């Protein structure tokens, strides 16, 4: 009996011996379901490739992404060793694309940390406290939901100044309300649970209950939602970059690259098209992944 089969058996055991075994077993079962979903796996693979490309950008890049050469501008893909051609300042598009992947992942990670956290805090407080607090916070949520999203983000960036961190902040400020909703709904169901009553009887204060006992239970549903929202976040960030309010030159942010390349689109289609494809690839990967995850976690819904 090899170690591999024994591990598999341990994971798939009908009657797990420990809580740990049960948890790992459940994870493994989900992974098996996930793996059988071709589209979701495709998404995962694309995503892993993009992450690898981002990590190893310095090794994979053929040129300095910022090095200009005005004599070598707007070259077609393949010419003079430039795999994907060069842009209007003679910079290597392939190398810029690789470094741009870092920016996209950076944006996604930052937003994925800030927005749900904001929503979590507001939602759980509203749900747990109830009454006036709930009313006020939820009204605030409604106000932010009634805003035209991109315009609100634009307004924030305009107010804070253009730049990648500010773009992240702006996107987060517009993205939190749905998370607050989810967190609040979860809190409402948890609040009246017996174990919360028990803890409260032991004398725990609201802050302790919310942070120690309610937050951990909300996090998994928030994480699913975040994965599903990733593509939207990337597209919004690219949209801001396209409008010149995201990452600033000479940064190789993909949206900004499209914006720079659009004026050459008639004769030098690749300058704008290639970063467009990159954005498409990463958001498609996230969508496929999120879709697959939902299938795994909620088989009944099946892609809703």
Partner 1 sequence: MTSLADPKGGRPAPLHTTFLGKSIRLLATVAITLLGLLFVTFMIGRVMPIDPVLAVIGERATQQQYDETFIALGLDKPLIVQFGIYVRDVLHGDFGTSIRTGQSVAEDIRRVFPATLELATLGTLIGVVLGVPLGVVAAVRKGTWIDQLARLVGLIGYSIPVFWLGLVGLLVFYGILGWVAGPGRLGIFYQGLVEPITGLLLVDSLLRGNITVFKDAFSHIILPASILAYYSMAYISRMTRSFMLEQLSSEYVTTARVKGLSEWKVVWHHAFRNIRVQLITVIALAYANLLEGSVLTEIIFAWPGIGSYITTSLLANDMNSVLGGTIVIGAIFVGLNIFSDLLYRFLDPRSK
Partner 2 sequence: MKQRNRFVAAAVVAMLAGGIAAPVMAETPPNMLVIANRIDDIKTFDPAESFEFAGADVSRNVYEKLVNFDPLDLDAGFGPQLAESWEISEDGTEITFTMADGHVFASGNPVTAKDAEFSLRRAVLLNKTPSFILTQFGFTADNVEETIVATDDNTLVLKLDKPYAQSFVLNCLTATIGGIVDSETVMANEVDGDMGNEWLRTNTAGSGPYKVADWKPNESVLMDLNPNYGGDAPAMERVIVQHIQESATQRLMLERGDIDVARNLSPEDVAGLVDTDGVKIVDELRGRLMYFSANQKNEMLADPKVVEALKWATDYQGMADSFLNGQYTVHQAFLPLTFLGALEDKPFTYDMDKAKAALAESGFADCGPIKISVREAQERLDIAQSLQNTWGQLGCDVELIVGTGAQTLDRYRAREHDIYLGAWGPDYPDPNTNAGTFAYNPDNSDEAGATGLLAWRNAWGIPEMSEQTLEAVVENDTGARRDMYLALQKEHQQVSPFGVMFQQIEQNGMGESVENFVAGGATTAVSYWVITK
Nearer to partner 1, 11 or 140 (CB): 140
Q: Build a one-symbol-per-residue string for 165-204: x at contacts with partner 1 by CB under 8 A, - elsewhere.
A: -------------x--xx-xx--x----------------
State the Cα–Cα distance between residues 272 and 258, nearest whole angstrom: 4
Contacts for 189 with CB less than 8 Å, ≥ 6 apart: none
Q: Is 242 in the site for partner 2 (CB under 8 A)?
A: no
User: How many CA atoms within 13 Å lie on the side-chain side of 191?
Assistant: 16
Phi and psi for 63 in degrees, rounded to 5? -140, 170
Q: Is 150 in the site for partner 2 (CB under 8 A)?
A: no
Burial 132-144 (b: 16+ CB within 10 A, else e): eebeebbeebeeb
Please, which of residues 84-113 interact with partner 2 by CB under 8 A? 88-90
Stretch that binds partner 2, among 45-53, 167-175, 225-233, 247-255 (CB under 8 A): 247-255
Q: Is 290 exposed, middle or buried (0-12, 13-18, 19+ CB in 10 A)?
A: buried
Q: Is 45 in the site for partner 1 (CB under 8 A)?
A: no
Instruction: In the chain, count H helices and then E strands.
Output: 13, 0
Candidate list 19, 205, 266, 299; residue touching partner 1; CB under 8 A = 266
Q: Is 160 in the site for partner 2 (CB under 8 A)?
A: no
**Helix, strand, or coil here: 14?**
coil
Candidate list 55, 140, 160, 162; residue touching partner 2; CB under 8 A = 162
Tell me which residue has tokens 């939207």. Answer: 232
State the Cα–Cα distance between residues 207 and 19, nearest whole angstrom: 29
Q: Is 159 in the site for partner 2 (CB under 8 A)?
A: no
Q: Build a one-symbol-per-residue string for 264-283: x at contacts with partner 2 by CB under 8 A, - elsewhere.
A: xxxxx---------------
**Helix, strand, or coil here: 86?**
strand
Binding partner of residue 77 among partner 1, partner 2, none, CB under 5 to 8 Å per kind? none
Please, which of residues 119-138 interact with partner 1 by CB under 8 A? 127, 138
**Helix, strand, or coil here: 127?**
helix
Whether the CA torsion 266, 271, 272, 274 is positive or negative: it is positive
Candidate list 39, 46, 74, 284; residue touching partner 2; CB under 8 A = 74
State the residues that interact with partner 1 by CB under 8 A.
Answer: 39, 127, 138-151, 154-156, 158-159, 161, 178, 181-182, 184-185, 188, 231-232, 235, 238-239, 242-243, 255, 258, 262, 265-266, 269, 272-273, 276, 279-280, 283-284, 286-288, 291, 300-304
* Interface residue list for partner 2 (CB under 8 A): 66, 68, 70-71, 73-74, 88-90, 158, 161-162, 244, 248-250, 260, 262-268
């Amino acid at each position: 009996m090899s170690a591999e089969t024994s591990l598999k058996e341990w994971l798939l055991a009908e009657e797990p011996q420990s809580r740990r075994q049960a948890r790992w077993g459940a994870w493994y079962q989900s992974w098996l379901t996930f793996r059988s979903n071709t589209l979701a796996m495709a998404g995962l693979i694309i995503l892993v490739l993009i992450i690898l490309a981002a990590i190893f950008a310095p090794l994979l890049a053929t040129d300095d992404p910022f090095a200009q050469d005005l004599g070598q501008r707007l070259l077609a893909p393949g010419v003079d060793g430039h795999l994907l051609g060069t842009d209007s300042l003679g910079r290597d598009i392939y190398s810029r694309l690789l470094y741009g992947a870092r920016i996209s992942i950076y944006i996604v990670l930052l937003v994925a940390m800030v927005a749900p956290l904001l929503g979590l805090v507001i939602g759980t407080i509203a749900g747990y406290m109830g009454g006036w607090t709930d009313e006020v916070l939820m009204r605030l949520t409604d106000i932010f939901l009634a805003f035209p999203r991109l315009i609100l983000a634009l307004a924030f960036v305009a107010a804070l100044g253009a730049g990648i961190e500010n773009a992240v902040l702006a996107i987060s400020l517009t993205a939190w309300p749905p998370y607050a909703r989810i967190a609040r709904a979860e809190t409402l169901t948890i609040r009246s649970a017996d174990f919360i009553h028990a803890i409260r009887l032991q004398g725990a204060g609201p802050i302790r209950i919310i942070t120690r006992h309610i937050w951990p239970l909300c996090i998994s549903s928030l994480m699913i939602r975040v994965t599903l929202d990733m593509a939207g976040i990337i597209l919004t960030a690219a949209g801001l970059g396209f409008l010149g309010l995201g990452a600033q030159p000479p940064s190789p942010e993909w949206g900004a690259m499209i914006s720079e390349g659009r004026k050459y689109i008639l004769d030098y289609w690749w300058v704008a098209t290639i970063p467009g494809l990159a954005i498409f690839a990463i958001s498609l990967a996230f969508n496929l992944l999120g879709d697959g995850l939902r299938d795994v976690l909620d088989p009944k819904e099946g892609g809703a």
